Amino acid sequence: MAKLPKITNTYFVAIIATVGGMLFGFDISSIAAIVITPQYIEYFHNPSGLIQGAIGSALAAGSVVGSLMAGPISDKFGRRDSIMFACLWWLIGTAVQVSTNGVGSLIAGRVLNGVCVGITSSQVPVYLAEIAKRESRGRIIIIQQLAIEWGIFIMYFASYGCGFIKGTASFRTAWGLQFIPAVILIIGLPFLPRSPRWLAKVGREDEAIQTLADIQAGGNRDDPLVVAEWEEIYTVLVAERESARGWRKFISNGMWKRTLAGMSVQAWQQLSGANVIVYYLTYVFLIAGLRDNLNLIASGIQYALFIVFTTVMFFFIDRTGRRTLLIAGGIAMGVCHFVIGGVLGSYSKPVPGGVDGNANVTFSVSGAASHTVIAFSYLLIITYALTLAPVAWIYAAEVWSLGTRATGMSLAAVANWVFNFALGLFTPPAFQNIQYKIFIIFGVLCFGSAVQAFLTYPETCGKTIEEVELLFAKGAPPAWKTKKGGSRLEAEVQAVLERKRAGEAVHAEVHTHKSEKVSSDAKEV
C-alpha cells in the first residue's frame, strides 16, 4: 500500500491535530448555550442542583476514563493513532446525545464524548511537544487552547441559533453539529507524521531520523541541527531504558518532582474557578440581571474575548516565561474572584423561586453591583486566556521524560478532569447553598496556585524537552532561580559544524539492533 504524503510544517500539523481540542470546546458550549432555553428546561423537567451538575460534569467523568486509557494506548500505537481511536468514542457519544430520550441517555452520551476528550486532551499536547521546534513549542501547543476556544465560540453561537428552533429539534440539531469536527479530524490525521520521539522509543530509528529531518531541515538528515537533536534524543533514550520500570518511574530518581509539577499545574487550571465561569456564565449573568437573549449574547462575548487574548499570547508565549505567567495569572484571577464574591456578598438579594424560574439561581444583584460583577467576570476570563488556560497545557506537556510523557500527561489530564468533574457536579448546588462564598474559595485557591508555581515550577521556556530533564535532576537550582532560554542545543549544533569543518563524516546514525525493536511496529500509512 502506497504511503500517504505527510504534512511536515509544524503549524499545519498543529492545526489539524488540535481539531481534537475543538471537540472539547464543542461539547462545553453545546450545554452552556442550551441549559437556559425553554426547550431544554421543559424536555428535561427543569434539571437543577445535582441533576444539572451530573449533566454538566458527565463529560469530565468520561474524560477521567479516557485520560487513564490514553497513556498505554499512545505508547503502544503512537500519539497520532491514539487520537484517531478517540474519534470513534466521539461519534458514538454524539449519536447517543442526538437520540436522547431523557437525562440518563444525555449523561451517557456526554460520558462517551468525554472518553474522547480525555484521550485527545492528554495526547494532542504530547504529540505537539514532541514534533515542535524548541523555539516555537509554546506557540505550537497554544494552538490546542485556541482550538478549544474556537470550538466553544462556534458551537455556542450555533447552539444559540438552534435555540430559535421549536421543540426538541432545537438541542438535537445543536448536538448533531458535533459530528462535523470529528469527521474533519478523521480525514486529516493520516496525513500527519508520527512523533519522531515515539518512533525512536519503539525502535524505529531510521523513520525517526527522517521525520526529524523533514520537520527541522526540509528532509536533510545531515543538517547539523538534525544531527545534534538526534544525538540528544538518543542519549536521553538510552538513559531512560536503564531507569526504573512501571509506576516507580514516576517517583524514583527525583521523578516525583515532575509528577507533582505536571499534575498540579493541571489541577490548578480547574481550581482557579475560571472554567466554572466558562460553563456557567449564563447563571452568573442571571444573577447580574441579564435575561433571555441578552444573557446568551453577553455570555457569548466572553468566548470572543477568550479567543482574542489567547491569540495575543500566541505571539508572546515563547518570549515570556511559563513561571511568570502562572504566578501573575494566579494572583490576578484571585483578585477578580475576591471582587466578584465581595460584591455579591454585600449587595445580593435572595430570590426564593429562582431568577426567571431557574432553580439554580436563587439570588441577584442590580445597578452598579451588577455592572461590577459583569466587568470582573470578563476580566477574569481575559486573565485566564492570557495565563493559566494556555500555559497549563504547555507546561504539563514539557515536564515529562520521553519514557513517561504519554502516561505522565495522562496523569496530568486525570488531575485536570477529576477536578473538572467535581466542580461541574457541585457548582450548581454551590450557587444554591453557599452562593457568593464560592468565589471567595476560588480566590484563595488562585493565590495558592501562585505560591506553588513560585516554589516548585522551574522555567522550561526556550529549552529542548530533553534539557528540561536537567531542571528536575538532583542538584538542579531551586525553581525561583531558573530562567528562560539558555538552551545548550546551539552549542551542540556548533560542535557538529566544527566536526564537519575538521573533515569528520557526521551523520544522524541509527543505533537500533534487531533485539531492541518492539513488537508494536505498526505499518506506516
Q: Pull the grid cell for residue 480.
A: 525561583
User: What pLDDT does 414 receive?
Assistant: 87
User: What pLDDT does 523 receive?
Assistant: 41
User: What pLDDT does 521 receive?
Assistant: 43
User: What pLDDT does 1 receive?
Assistant: 35
Mean pLDDT by 10 residues, the chain (525 residues): 68 83 78 78 80 81 88 86 92 93 91 91 83 75 84 84 86 89 90 86 84 81 78 71 64 79 91 78 77 72 86 84 92 94 85 71 80 88 90 85 76 86 77 82 94 91 76 80 70 64 64 43 43
Q: Which residues contact 197 (CB under 8 A, 6 or more apart)?
A: 130, 208, 233, 402, 405
User: What pLDDT does 365 receive?
Assistant: 81
Distance CA 304, CA 498 (A): 51
User: What pLDDT does 524 receive?
Assistant: 43
Instruction: Please state the separation of Cα 248 from the chain's center in Å.
Output: 26
Distance CA 222, CA 229 (A): 11
User: What pLDDT does 525 receive?
Assistant: 46
Question: Could you tell me whether strands 363-364 and 349-350 are parallel, antiparallel, or unpaired per DSSP bridges?
Answer: antiparallel
Q: Pull the grid cell for residue 372.
A: 461590577
Distance CA 52, CA 44 (A): 10
Distance CA 37, CA 315 (A): 38
Helix (H, G, I), strand (E, B) or coil at 363: strand
How would you write 243-273 as a 3-class SS string? CCCHHHHHCHHHHHHHHHHHHHHHHHHHHCC
Provide the 8-state DSSP code for 462: T
The residue length of the chain stands at 525
The dihedral formed by the CA atoms of 94, 95, 101 and 104, expressed in degrees to the nearest 10:
-50
Distance CA 316, CA 139 (A): 8
Cβ–Cβ contacts within 10 Å for residue 513, how many? 8
User: What pLDDT does 243 receive?
Assistant: 57
User: Are the beta carbons of 475 and 373 closer than 8 angstroms?
Assistant: no
The identity of residue 246, as a single letter, is G
